[in-house]
A and B are shown apart, each in its own frame.
Chain A
Amino acid sequence: MNSDDNSSPLLSPVANGVPIRLMNKLAILSDAAKYDASCASSGATKRDSLTGSGVGSTEGMGICHSYAPDGRCISLLKVLLTNFCTFDCLYCVNRVSSNVPRARFEIDELVDLVLSFYKRNYIEGLFLSSGIIRDPDYTMEQIVEVARRLREVHDFRGYIHLKTIPEATPELLASAGRYADRLSINVELARPDSLSALAPQKEAGGIRQAMAGIRSKLDESRDRSHSGRKAPGFSASGQSTQMIVGADDANDGELLDCSESLYKGYQLKRVYYSAFSPIPDASAALPLAPPDLNREHRLYQADWLMRFYGFAVDEIVAGGENGMLDPALDPKLAWALKHRERFPVDVNTAERELLLRVPGLGTRGVDRLLTSRRLRRLTLADLGRICGSVARMRPFVVTRDWRPTALLDAGGLRAQLLQGSAQLSLFD
């Protein structure tokens, strides 16, 4: 047994009355689920339990009820229904050829666990996924049944995210969407040939087809024009996906191109990037290394620029070298350094699009700046109060009392900013 887990605290002696069997299942099935990055619980339709008989509410913004020492938010009970799987995806801890311990929840056992955790305010809801047992439809039916019981038997109004199995029939996807706030299907790898090499039973075309199916359901449920009244709700907080970073040779440009096409083609809410991480009992075909968390971080920053700051993928990628983002600088700053001719920007006159390109100035800062400057011409100190810190902006902006003449041309600007950026993050 190559399990890494012989030191896990879950095995410390437990108090009387704790059901050991359930505890072991929970340990195995949450351990198996941790490689899915998403734990988001935001964007659901607003609802509460005042009118119902059960528990639960969603108020737009999700809540992180705890944080693991890996810095990740714990918002949902993220588990697999079972980690038995007939597929052999090499990067996955649950693949059929792995020797990890296996377990499977009874449906009611899991339903009770969700409710008990929820009532104690540990979680916002459930993120359920599963290894593929028997066949895709059977597995999907089981997943949907958990959600159905929560909603229909217990009137549970918390958040439900279901990982859907692309090979399952469209009818099952439709009923999954009725109970879930979010659906996701992982594309896993940006390159179709990597997918066939590393996940031989998966099929890039099928994954995209299923995403398109979800998208059209989403469109339908938002479209009132045909019948004049609102269609039944369908996965109100949309669909998301995940890509593994660093399991194949795809560069950042390829990953971001893939994301862009997914956002556009299937109206995804989020693409998650998950640095390929060591797993217990790994495949010999896929050597392990510590996960490249910095690369993952830069990809998230780039993704943000693409979605909220009006950057095109090639602009972002051009900030680095050879299709890879600059590992040392956030991609907006990297872009600005290669486009110094566009700066400095006068914060008292520049248009929104241009302000969004200023390193250190976020979307909220820009909005606040635009209201403030209607009333008076802003100084550097005003800018500091609006945005928190001007340290990184100084070389790139003009204010009533500030103009960076020599700074921007200085050859040492990159080095200087590098030093400063150790503590500063664009997305604070």
Chain B
Amino acid sequence: MSLLLQYGIIVSVWILSLLLILIIPRQKRRLAMVAFLFKQYITCIFGHAVVELQLLAYPVRELADVSRTSITYEYMAYPMTCAVFNAFYPSHRSGWFQFGYYVLFTTALVICEVLLVQYTDLIRYVRWNWFWSWATIFLTFLMTRAFCVIYFGTMIRVKAAK
């Protein structure tokens, strides 16, 4: 695939991610913000570690001199997906429904990633496969969800105690 087209993909991912802000409901903005920032923090460390260990490579990337990691994915696209994930989380539904919600988001992200591996140079698996992606994405979604539940859960208790 031509280089120009791949840069086009990067730019459109940024635009799409920024547009996702608009679909987050007004009263869920704080929840989405905490989820976004916490996910960004995790992916910053994990993302650097996997590139350092040469498990993954991003041959075509923005700001190629600064970083061998994908800033678009780690800084914007993935955290924003997680913000949307948390904003629409079906917390009042059954456990199986919630599990399905995790699987849906994880699978959607992994399908995008596998397509990018197949058809572009944006990401390349060195010593990695799609299942590892699936498992780490699932676990980081779980971590972020747990963090948000604890963060907002204890906040209300602190306020009630005052």
Is A bound to B? no
